[in-house]
A = this chain, B = another copy of it.
């Protein structure tokens, strides 16, 4: 008789293997708690607002609609989010290439807040990581790198996962850029 596990979803590995999933879940929660607390202290806002500031800063061609898809918000939610960033003097709406589009640009203070945000995030994660030795961190980096590299992500998935990423330290993103074609 097979040992029955609760609701047997497609992805639940039977036996002790779920221990690792629980551990990663707990760690991820701790990491995100710290990142979000720091982000709120830096920009004074929560939700997807900090991520929006980072995403807009990746390039000067960001539009409302691309931002919406990356953040996973509704259209109106994104418009209101940008309204908040504009009223906080962090972002400017400029005319886009296409007459319909709005080109989102960081102001000087927006760029400064973005840098603080990225530094705060790295600091928050590092404060958890620094109990590991350099060798252990190297090992962990290799494993996470592989884990990310083997995901089946579209280009948009990648932007979503990387919406808080620090482009100053992440020069070569391990995530594949289009679904179905494995990077190896």
Please list the residues of chain A having a beta carbon within 8 angstroms of any beta carbon in chain B: 1-2, 4-13, 16-38, 46, 72, 115-116, 118-132, 134, 136-141, 143-148, 150-151, 160-166, 168-170, 174
Q: Are A37 and B140 in contact (CB under 8 A)?
A: no
Q: Are B20 and A140 in contact (CB under 8 A)?
A: yes
Q: Given the complex of chains A and B, what is the CA–CA distance between A46 and B48 in angstroms?
A: 14
Return the chain B residue nearest A15 by Cβ. B169
Chain B residues near A38 (CB-CB < 8 A): 7
Q: Is the interface of A mostly helix, strand, loop or mixed?
A: helix
Chain B residues near A127 (CB-CB < 8 A): 6-8, 11
Chain B residues near A32 (CB-CB < 8 A): 28-29, 32
Knowing A7-B119, A21-B129, A162-B26 touch, does A140 contact B137 (C-beta < 8 A)? no
Q: Are B24 and A161 in contact (CB under 8 A)?
A: no
Q: Are A27 and B148 in contact (CB under 8 A)?
A: yes
Chain B residues near A166 (CB-CB < 8 A): 18, 22, 25
